[in-house]
Structure 1
């Protein structure tokens, strides 16, 4: 255990709304050990930004960690050249050029399909009925797992993500996570022969063409499913929620004083969908005046860093006029999210503006509910519109 001061938390309350607790940590104990999580948390932006890069001390390699136990070894749990080799292999599938030239038009078609399906209904839950299937269909194309349905993709992602955040050791959550992982393996195995016969720019195909092993492919696909379904789904629903509940900010977009990209950037700063990454202490050492022991666990809290008062005035406010440049919702070091360009394109270029154009007088029609701390997003967003 580190020498950091101890902070006790109410775990159910932290899951419901972590931000007041994180604000107190930033103010009084920015690096603190939390017994309920079994880890030392880094909560200030500069500490997270600096220390995430110290892979010699804070290693991504966590063979006993939940992510690797559930998903298998993957590039997000490797450092230095082992990480970069797999990241280079992945790059052709998710590069900004691939997003622009290959994926963007497909994203547009996916969004149009789901909006056409919704238009006549007059009301929906934008999480379940729109953000979820749009994100899942985009991920099916990106990964190459077109043999999975959108429902199967979302369920696999959520079950694995829940398992990766299961620090309380709930056996039912663990069992569902391992079952979802095995199901994804089976779908990958079923797709590989066809993708070898007809290679394309999907993640499975480019990793296979690069010579990665079956275990490397499955591990990386599963970690991509975890973040690649969770983050865009939550950002689509969340950015729409933010604009619907902040009419003054929506007006800035409608009058051209801000863009949908600004709306996306400010939302993922305010409610960072993937709010935490774990690291293993690789050797005894010091950071931020705290002594760390080998093999203990630390968490970098992106969600807290993105609300750091040192960089963001009134950080709990959704404000499209602020500079979001210092925010690090996609990470800050060598593990910067490989799918950031795809997510921004799907959400800001297609899913959010198309919904606002296609659903006249779109408005809330019930309670919007958020949940989670390591992964946070809306669990429901009931809306109505004129038809």
Structure 2
């Protein structure tokens, strides 16, 4: 199977539902391969699935994110390209320096009791909903509300707004997928961006009048005082992207991870009370079922990457999920092993764009999974999971379970 056939299969509905055989086929071609010049892949020159090459490019700040043509004409793309996640230095460095100060060990420590409180409340609700053997949707009842409620409290969003907010997040995520660049999905993503920008303008005005202890209040005060190199419109763009990125990946960490854990009863039995094992489980779930499957970077100059020529401004597709199953770095890469030795997964990226919310996501997983399985040791999946159908952000959207109650 050649590289063109692999990518065509990967982008298909079948590939988006189960991409891992296609990643294995890519590994058969080596760590990086040239992409044939066809319309479907016209913006991509090469595809890399080798761990070391993907790691190398992500760490190199000269490999940059390329804005799509005409991005100034679309609200969603204007929002992306005025946020730290989508821009390059020096603007990336300027914006990130502001938000990096908020994800401190002290703030993480303060989040721990918040996470425990949120998790325990949701477990009580699951127990009530699952009484007498009734099914519950693990995503709707646990995987989504845990990170959403934690980040809402951290950032300063009212809990009552989260259902409205989630629909707009879904519209943006659907547009981000490789199959998402349709006029309808673009229109919905633009609508989401417009409505979220208006939402944050109102929330900022409210915090300006009645400041609290949340992140938005602190940032508004700093922006107004001229203490941070950020405009209010940039603040809004970054809040939209930060909230999306900080909880969608965690939702999929939980929903993708639960079937993996339940397939290993010895791990389920040992997890409560074993913090080292909990950390290992989070790491292995992120490696084996990465929520983010690919990123792209453009070459800063004519160069060679793993022996493949890449010209200046050409894009290389970096298969994060494929690199996390690179057999050259992870022996028996498809096996779930929470005590596995080896390099860290690339699920949250590395280098200048390393996910700021990674520590929060890992903390949520480390605290929530043992409490979940201690409360419901007979938890079982009752139906075939429903995946998002997205390849960029791949995860289970519906996961029906029985709590064993």
Structure 2 counterpart of 1:9? 8
Which sits farther off after the overlay, 311-320 or 68-77?
Answer: 68-77
Which sits farther off after the overlay, 266-275 or 228-237?
Answer: 228-237
Task: State whether residues 166 and 173 of structure 1, in contact with CA within 8 Å, keep that contact through their aligned partners in structure 2.
Answer: no
Alignment pair present for 1:53 and 2:62? no
Alpha-carbon shift at residue 211 of structure 1 (Å): 4.9
Structure 1 counterpart of 2:225? none
Q: Partners of 1:199 and 1:47 in 2: how far apart?
A: 46
Task: State whether residues 107 and 346 of structure 1, in contact with CA within 8 Å, keep that contact through their aligned partners in structure 2.
Answer: yes
301 and 319 in structure 1: CA distance in 2 versus 1, 3 angstrom threshold: same
Superposed, 1:123-162 pairs within 5 Å as: 123-146=135-158, 149-162=161-174
Structure 2 counterpart of 1:26? 27
Structure 1 counterpart of 2:116? 108
Alpha-carbon shift at residue 201 of structure 1 (Å): 5.7
SS in 2 for 1:124: strand
Alignment pair present for 1:75 and 2:96? no
Alpha-carbon shift at residue 199 of structure 1 (Å): 4.4
Q: Partners of 1:272 and 1:186 in 2: how far apart?
A: 32
**Deviation per residue, 1:184-209 (Å, 9 max, x gap):** 11111111023234545644344432
Structure 2 counterpart of 1:189? 201
Task: State whether residues 203 and 221 of structure 1, in contact with CA within 8 Å, keep that contact through their aligned partners in structure 2.
Answer: no
Task: State whether residues 269 and 324 of structure 1, in contact with CA within 8 Å, keep that contact through their aligned partners in structure 2.
Answer: no
Alignment pair present for 1:90 and 2:86? no
Alignment pair present for 1:347 and 2:365? yes
Unaligned runs of 5+ in 1: none
Superposed, 1:1-387 pairs within 5 Å as: 6-7=4-5, 8-10=7-9, 11-32=12-33, 33=35, 35=38, 36-38=40-42, 39=44, 40-56=46-62, 58-62=63-67, 64=69, 68-69=77-78, 71-101=80-110, 103-122=111-130, 123-146=135-158, 149-167=161-179, 169-199=181-211, 202-208=214-220, 209=222, 210-254=228-272, 256=274, 259-349=277-367, 351-370=368-387, 371-387=389-405
- C-alpha RMSD of matched pairs (Å): 2.6
SS in 1 for 2:296: strand
203 and 274 in structure 1: CA distance in 2 versus 1, 3 angstrom threshold: farther
321 and 239 in structure 1: CA distance in 2 versus 1, 3 angstrom threshold: same
88 and 128 in structure 1: CA distance in 2 versus 1, 3 angstrom threshold: same
SS in 2 for 1:361: coil
TM-score (norm 2): 0.86
257 and 192 in structure 1: CA distance in 2 versus 1, 3 angstrom threshold: closer
Unaligned runs of 5+ in 2: 223-227
356 and 257 in structure 1: CA distance in 2 versus 1, 3 angstrom threshold: closer
TM-score (norm 1): 0.89
Q: Partners of 2:275 and 2:355 in 1: how far apart?
A: 28
